[in-house]
Amino acid sequence: MAGRVFFFLQHATYEPAYQAASMGITAAAMGDDVYFVFAFEALRQLVRGGFGLAHSERERTEAARAEGLNVPTPARMLEEARALGAKLVACDTTVRICGLSPQDLHGTLDEVMGLASIWRLTEGARVLTL
């Protein structure tokens, strides 16, 4: 029973990025329509290539363990989820608050859309925030 799943991301360090990316790729592989909605630090780190990087000693230890287990990085899982049809989006107002323009995000995101559009898409969907 496929459905829609939204992951609202405002944090981008290893733990929340891993949680969102691993659940997102799993949902996409199981046939759900997956949307990752990036805001604030998650959006800035995605643009800078820092999404999912460890920012504490604990996260560095966890990331090293994951590497030893051959677990893909959060950024890699996000790419693979996208290849399975997951969409990376952001609200146009949040993009501007972060000092970016929609043109800056071409290729990084699948779409920059209005909050009303995002809100309508969440109707009947599973929603997680990280």
- Tens digit of each residue's pLDDT (9 = 90 or more) over 89-101: 999 999 999 999 9
Q: Are 102 and 95 in contact (CB under 8 A)?
A: yes
Stated pTM of the model: 0.94
The correct answer on CATH 3.40.1260.10 for the domain covering 4-129 is yes
Sequence spans of domains, the chain? 4-129
Average pLDDT over the chain, rounded to an integer: 96
pLDDT tens column, 56-87? 999 999 999 999 999 999 999 999 999 999 99
pLDDT band at 1 (very low <50, low <70, confident <90, very high): low
Give the pairing type, strands 126-129 and 4-9. parallel
